[in-house]
Amino acid sequence: MENKSFEPNLEVRYTNYLRHEFSSGSGAQIVPEAESADLVLSGQILSVSLPTLSFSQTTTLESRAEVFVMVQVEETRTKRLVWAQTAKGASEFYVTSDLQFNRVLQNRALEQAGRFIAEDLASRFLLQLELGQLAKQPARPASDNTNTNIK
């Protein structure tokens, strides 16, 4: 995953969430090198937002972490796009008067949003695979150089 958001260090965590879910949830086998893969998954973390859900006159009481990602799957040999999807993950958290603890809560919400996204994308991919829809070519989104290899 390539991180295009202003939230630092999400790319490694989100890549690991996707690898885990695609290997366990979609039946895909993750391989170390692109040459031995049939398909390559790549993607981008497009944005992270933290809207306020509830507040008092002077204080935010509850926020939500919202993350938007875009992924695509290409055939290794032909570089043909076989699947592309955008997804949104969200998780709420309470805001306290302790700034350090708030950051911990925010990080947990971002982690949970990433796990939701990975689960959603893996199940969508499996559904498309089972329906035989991967052969159809969708419109091509912007490309990226960071890949996860799928066999």
Whether the per-residue pLDDT at 143 is higher than 50: the answer is no
Mean pLDDT along residues 96-107:
96
pTM: 0.84
When pLDDT is cut at 50, 70 and 90, the band that residue 25 belongs to is low
Cβ atoms of 48 and 63 within 8 Å: the answer is no
Q: What is the DSSP pairing of strand 2-3 with strand 39-49? A: parallel
Q: Determine the Cα–Cα distance for residues 136 and 149; give it in Å rounded to an integer.
A: 20
Domain residue extents for the chain: 2-150
The domain made up of 2-150 has a fold known as Double Stranded RNA Binding Domain (3.30.160)
Whether the per-residue pLDDT at 139 is higher than 80: the answer is no
Mean pLDDT along residues 51-58:
93
